[in-house]
Amino acid sequence: MKLYSYFRSSAAYRVRIALNLKGLTHDIVPVNLLKSEQQGEQYLEKNIQGLLPALETEQGMLGQSLAILEWLEETTDTTPILPSDPWQKAQVRNLAYAIAVDIHPLNNLRVLKYLTNELAVTDEQKTKWYQDWIMTGFDKVEKMLGDTAFCCGEEPTLADICLVPQVYNALRFNTPMDNYPKIMAIYNHCNTLKAFTDAAPEQQIDAQ
């Protein structure tokens, strides 16, 4: 498999974690978002959406990180990232979607570029936008978490795979995190695992 990735892409970060957790052999193919390589003809032939990540498999190309994660779960029998119980599975998805669907889209690179290029906001205003939407989401996520080692129990799941990249970005934008002790405890615990640390942006071949 080949994972088309950018080292700071939150969505690609999720897939890197999952591939590592499941011990799946794969190659990383860097695509530079800052140079808009995802909009180049060569990449668009592989992923018509022009987004990252994309996973190239023997069956073809698959985009959208959540779809990739679900496919990996359904086609592999190593290290499950979703519980077998339907209710517990729904709880994991509930947390994962709260992050990947409700928080992340408001802060991805396309939105930040639009704020700067089209609306001419200042760097200070852009940072405030980023931080406000992170905190709005984390206020709710913090209350959804229990006192377990990971988001939903004692093993990493899809929820943790979504949480860690979002916290990484929150810290990168200097978002105040004092009000989120459970989130930070889970983030720090996840980062004691090699599958998470090896997927971190600074460990990628295209890290700058």
- Mark whether 100 and 164 lie in a shared domain: yes
Total tally of structural domains belonging to the chain: 2
- Mark whether 160 and 94 lie in a shared domain: yes
* ∠ CA 168-129-163, rounded to 5°: 25
- Mark whether 99 and 31 lie in a shared domain: no
> CA-to-CA distance for 106 and 85, rounded, in angstroms?
31
- Mark whether 67 and 158 lie in a shared domain: no
Q: Would you write out the chain's pLDDT as a tens digit for each of its 208 residues?
A: 999 999 999 999 999 999 999 999 999 999 999 899 999 999 999 999 999 999 999 999 999 999 999 999 999 999 999 999 999 999 999 999 999 999 999 998 889 999 999 999 999 999 999 999 999 999 999 999 999 999 999 999 999 999 999 999 999 999 999 999 999 999 999 999 999 999 999 999 999 8
| pTM reported for the whole predicted model | 0.95
- Mark whether 65 and 99 lie in a shared domain: no
Residues linked to residue 4 through DSSP beta bridges, in sequence order: 29, 54
> CA-to-CA distance for 128 and 42, rounded, in angstroms?
36
Give me the CATH number covering residue 174. 1.20.1050.10
| Residue 137 lies in domain | 86-195
Beta carbons of 198 and 192 less than 8 angstroms apart: no
- Mark whether 71 and 93 lie in a shared domain: no
- Mark whether 97 and 115 lie in a shared domain: yes
In a domain, 141, yes or no: yes
In a domain, 131, yes or no: yes
- Mark whether 55 and 156 lie in a shared domain: no
SS3 30: strand
- Mark whether 69 and 91 lie in a shared domain: no
